Amino acid sequence: MGTPRKSRAKSGSSSGPTDQIEHFVYGSAQQLKEFRANLPKGVTVRRTQGGLVLTERLMADEEPDAKVSRMTARAVTHGIEYDGWGQVIVEPDAEDRLDIQSQSFVSRTGIHPGLGFSLPLSTGQFGHAVFLGESREGFLLLDIIAGLSDRPLASAGLADAPRRYRQPIIVWHTGFVALPLEGDAVPAAKLPREVAFRMGIGWASPEDIARLEQQFKIADPDPESAWTQLLLHLARLRRRLPGIESYSVWTATCSRSGKLKIMADYTPIVFREPSHPPMPWQPSTIDEVMTALAGGPDLIAARDIVT
């Protein structure tokens, strides 16, 4: 089971019955069909690659934990995977809203599949990435360039530039600044492209997580902050989270036009040491990418070790 995760549309606060909670579940087509047929009234369903996104209303005085527990129990009953949850706001402020799903990355930025772009960082420097493709679900497949520069690089210099990670990563398409590079539109990557990811099977129990937090003296009341600290502690020790003993391989394929498809496979593969499985399937945020490039904690690399 995955960690709780924010929805892309999450807002800071709300009042009244305006919150919604999203659940992410995955399984075979038949399992999902039976699961969907037994959902209670008031739960809306949206298909995603290999699974479903379930949305239900969260009243102002309700805690998410109860709804998460009930939906987790339903998933277990039907033999499917509950892969986390996110809390969303029905009507975010109009000034802050950017409907990414109605605007492709190409149309928003002018950057076409296979081309590089620069990311302005808070340090005043620039990071770089190569855009490989995007999906209707809001996923971008990006190849992150290692190192920083004082000004955007020329497009011709990215093809052979060292990469930060050992493979491209999946990133949520949110409204970040991506600057096209000067010069001729020289492709930094060839398409079509296929990239493998691993989906961890199993998860640490609440007791295991509590034990590890005690071991590392983590007493942060914010669950997200506490989880980040635990992730970084385990990564420094190069330890995998207990309970994750196997994984399956998911494949991201990009066509020549940059159309991204994710194909899920649930065949278990046992972790063996030494081995080099692909990086974990968990969409990152552009904030995580930029924090890592600017010298901050690298949660993407940490998840590669821990999960």
β partners of residue 259: 134
User: What's the one-letter identity of residue 128?
Assistant: H
Residue 114's pLDDT is: 95
User: Domains of the chain, with CATH numbers?
Assistant: 19-89 (3.30.70.970), 100-199+244-306 (no CATH), 203-236 (no CATH)
| pLDDT tens-digit profile, the chain (307 residues) | 444 443 433 333 333 445 788 898 988 888 888 899 889 888 999 887 778 889 998 877 777 788 888 898 888 888 898 888 877 654 444 343 344 455 789 988 999 999 999 999 989 999 999 999 999 888 999 999 999 999 998 888 888 899 999 999 999 998 889 999 987 677 899 999 999 999 998 888 889 999 999 999 999 888 889 999 999 999 999 999 999 989 999 999 999 999 999 998 889 999 987 678 999 999 999 999 999 999 999 999 999 999 9
Q: What is the pLDDT of residue 184?
A: 66
What pLDDT does residue 102 have? 58
Residues 68-104 have pLDDT tens digits of: 888 988 888 888 988 888 776 544 443 433 444 557 8
Name every residue whose Cβ is closer than 8 Å to that of residue 89 and which is 6 or more positions away in sequence. 9, 10, 11, 14, 18, 19, 20
From the number of C-beta atoms within 10 Å of its C-beta (0-12, 13-18, 19+), residue 26 rates as: buried
Residues 262-302: pLDDT tens digits? 998 889 999 987 678 999 999 999 999 999 999 999 999 99
Contacts from 58-64 at CB under 8 Å and sequence distance 24+? 58/17, 58/19, 58/20, 58/21, 58/87, 59/17, 59/19, 60/14, 60/15, 60/16, 60/17, 60/18, 60/19, 64/21
Q: To which residue do tokens 């990086």 refer? A: 279
CB 277 within 8 A of CB 247: yes
